Amino acid sequence: MKAVLVNGSPRASGNTSLALKEIEGVLVEEGFEVTSIQVGHLPIRGCLACGKCRELGRCVIDDAVNRDAALFREADAVVFASPVYYGMANGTLVSYLQRLFYSSHIDWRYKVGAAVAIARRGGLSSTFDELNKFFSITGMTVAGGQYWNGVYGRAAGEAKEDIEGLQQMRTLARHIAFLVKATALEKAKEGGLPSDEKPVYTNFVR
Ligand SMILES: Cc1cc2nc3c(=O)[nH]c(=O)nc-3n(C[C@H](O)[C@H](O)[C@H](O)COP(=O)(O)O)c2cc1C
Neighbours of 206 (CB within 10 A): 4
Q: What is the pLDDT of residue 94?
A: 98
d(CA 147, CA 132): 14
Phi, psi of 164 (to 5 degrees): -70, -45
Tell how far the Cα of 100 is from the centroid of ligand 1, in angstroms.
24
Mean pLDDT of the chain: 97
**31-47 residue pLDDT tens:** 999 999 999 999 999 99
Confidence at 201, pLDDT banded by 50, 70, 90: confident
d(CA 14, CA 153): 9
Judge whether residue 91 has pLDDT over 70: yes
Q: What is the pTM of this model?
A: 0.97
Q: What is the pLDDT of residue 90?
A: 98
Question: Kind and range of the H or E element at 31?
Answer: none
124 pocket-lining for ligand 1 (C-beta < 6 Å): no
Protein residue closest via CA to atom 6 of ligand 1: 85
Q: What is the pLDDT of residue 81?
A: 98
- CATH number of the domain at 2-188, out of 1.10.287.1260, 3.40.50.150, 2.60.120.650, 3.40.50.360? 3.40.50.360
Angle value at C-alpha 22, between 16 and 24, nearest 5 degrees = 100
- How much of the chain exceeds pLDDT 90, in percent? 94
**Residues 55-82, mean pLDDT to the nearest whole number:** 98
15 pocket-lining for ligand 1 (C-beta < 6 Å): yes
Q: What is the pLDDT of residue 206?
A: 61
Residue to substitute in 15, 84, 118, 127 for testing ligand 1 pocket (most ligand atoms within 8 angstroms of CB):
84
21 pocket-lining for ligand 1 (C-beta < 6 Å): no
Residue to substitute in 9, 94, 120 for testing ligand 1 pocket (most ligand atoms within 8 angstroms of CB):
120
92 pocket-lining for ligand 1 (C-beta < 6 Å): no
**136-175 residue pLDDT tens:** 999 999 999 999 999 999 999 999 999 999 999 999 999 9
Q: What is the pLDDT of residue 33?
A: 98
Tell which residue, 92, 67, 62, has the closest CA to residue 80.
92
83 pocket-lining for ligand 1 (C-beta < 6 Å): yes
Tell how far the Cα of 54 is from the centroid of ligand 1, in angstroms.
35
Q: Following CA atoms 96, 11, 173, 118 in sequence, which dihedral angle do they give, to the nearest 10 degrees? A: -90
How many CA atoms within 13 Å lie on the side-chain side of 164? 6
Question: Kind and range of the H or E element at 142?
Answer: strand 141-142
